[in-house]
Amino acid sequence: MQENIQTRKLQVVDVDGKVRVELGPADEGYGLVVYDKDGAFQATLTDAPLGAAIQLRNGGGSVSLMAMDGGCGITLRGKNGMPRALMLHEEDKGPEFILQDEAGKAIFSALECGDSLIWIRKPIQQTRINSRPIRRASFSRQFA
């Protein structure tokens, strides 16, 4: 019995010969990619130079999780591929939560600013707090 098999790329095919799972180079790194019966990717697990990522998708949208040096994030995308909800954390900027409409326009965000949490809804114009761009809104709350 052979104890070790080495290869750069491994593909698992279905009974029709279509690639359904691939292990090897992916996203400028290495990872695992799962394809549906039509050849479209449905899931990935990769460790690329920018960070480790998991993406799950189907006809109704996708979910992405990413961990990298200095931060991490979760993105929910709609059917059209546009981000709809983002939860981000960057070590030098803190956490941020953003909801976007189908066109990608921010309709709600909450971010940490010093010792406060600022909620912003219905952005009207953009401004800066502590050198971070935020949008002024018709409705906002600040919690200390």
Write down the domain spans for the chain.
1-49, 58-144
For residues 83 and 142, the model is more confident at 83
pLDDT in tens, 28-60: 889 999 999 999 989 999 998 889 999 999 888
pLDDT in tens, 71-109: 999 999 999 889 999 999 988 888 889 999 988 888 888
Percent of the chain with pLDDT over 90: 47
Could you tell me the CA-to-CA distances from 69 to 73, 81, 109 in Å, in that order?
A: 12, 25, 24
Give the burial class of 105: count Cβ atoms within 10 A of its Cβ; 0-12 exposed, 13-18 middle, 19 or more buried: exposed
For residues 42 and 125, the model is more confident at 42
Q: Which two tokens stand for residue 140?
A: 């906002």
Q: Residue 122's pLDDT is what? A: 52
Q: Which two tokens stand for residue 107?
A: 């309709």
Overall pTM > 0.75: no
